[in-house]
Structure 1
Amino acid sequence: MLQIDAVEAVYQNAIAALHGVSLNVRAGEFHALLGANGAGKSTTLKAVSNLLPAQRGKVTAGSIVFDGHNVGRTSPAALVRLGLVTVLEGRHCFRSLTVEENLLTGGLGRSSSRTELAKDLERVYAIFPHLRDKRRALAGLTSGGEQQMTAIGRALMSRPRLLVLDEPSMGLAPLIVQDIFRQLKRLNREEGLSILVAEQNSTVALQYADRATVLDTGVAVLAGTTAELRQRSDIQSFYFGESVATLQAAA
């Protein structure tokens, strides 16, 4: 479904961020992109969503193809209509809108009927029941966990085929993180939703994902099934600063 091939990226024509990163996400797969802060995870996801130009960045080499479409030649809005929907880092919500109004904005680009929107809204409330209780509350006044659920729910209203999430666990309590990842895994398993998630929290990502790719300073240093990676003692060492050369030698 998604193929990233030897991608290099820079910011402001000077700051190199990615160095030949390659990975693929198969249809129906839950794929985790792991790495410490500054490893290049967010840059990779912005490249996948063609959002780098908005931050004075660009892909300078390699290719990204989503379901046969060249991402670099497809606008972010067109990618959403094709089924590639991104939840950015930071729990972005329209703070002055209610939770339900935020959710409804996710269906605006699909030209959905009122009946279809109502059906999709009920689906989101079934996934995140707490949002139903908060549906009339201003999103800016809800908790961090509720805002993250709102952001994910809004993305689901767009009926994604590939859901891309950037650090969904950031700043949230462990129980909330587990709940969010359980729901994501359920959508993946029961509805076949493909998921690509960037996470610094390797423990939760390796618990729920099928496969994972590890980045360090813009380089893909490890990849494999999560069952394989969970057995590697050097994964945890990596997060405490083990060098790329040591990891690659161990691989």
Structure 2
Amino acid sequence: MDPHLLRTFVAVARHGSFSAAARELGYTQSAVSQHIAALESDLGTALLGRRPVAPTEAGERLLEHAGPLLLRLDAARADIARLGAAPSARLTVGVSPLATGALDRLPADRTGLIRVLDRAAIPAAVSSGELDLGLVDGMTGPSDPLPLPETGPLTATVVEESPLCVALPAGHPLARRTGLCLPDLADALWIDAPGTAVPLDRLRAVCGPGAYRARLRYEGTDVQGLLALVAAGRGLATLPGAAVAGRDDVVGVPVVAPRLVHRVEALRTGAGSPVF
């Protein structure tokens, strides 16, 4: 399967348009049509409906494979390129919003560009060579690695661990508790903030059956913006205790069960030099 044809297919499926995909890729619309026809001929099945332009059942299945396949190709190309390149004196660092405190541990003379990114985007950006180093955070068991997407060979180094808490409005009935069990809050209303707080699907995976219903979804990367929503009574959120400190309108009650921690890990490729 030609990866160039596969990239064209992914672009057309994403845009729902041959012309928009052509503009993105720098091809003519005719060339895009030829790519799709060649890929369909190779696989022996139709991948896209034409009116409207949308993946067929076979196309949907191919899309499930296409992202990881193309990412691994990009990761392989970047990894080989690093072998022949001189080590970078100053690093391009990607950091998730709740891992920014770990930046203090980086040598100032090694740090160049710093980009605050959604935590889900960082492993792929390190694998593809877009970042020299990634600082990513998440919730996990004390002895378990962070659950990261499969993007290619990466080396993870634990930078710091801290307790988790449930962020509540200061006047909430549970705000005076000394500890909370997450399964007891499965039927509460939550803010789904995958870029900052612990994502709700992660709570469901770790804590077992339960609704963990989202009252609203926050797609920003500003932690203080999320805490303002908590303070306004829009829902609960699970965060490291340090993220809640210093606010009078939000209380962080420690999570006592299940036994979980907030961890920050530094990600680099095998060809990268250790920093921590």
In the superposition, the TM-score normalised over structure 1's length comes to 0.25
Higher normalized helix content (fraction of residues):
1
Say which structure, 1 or 2, has more relative contact order (CA 8 Å, 6+ apart).
1
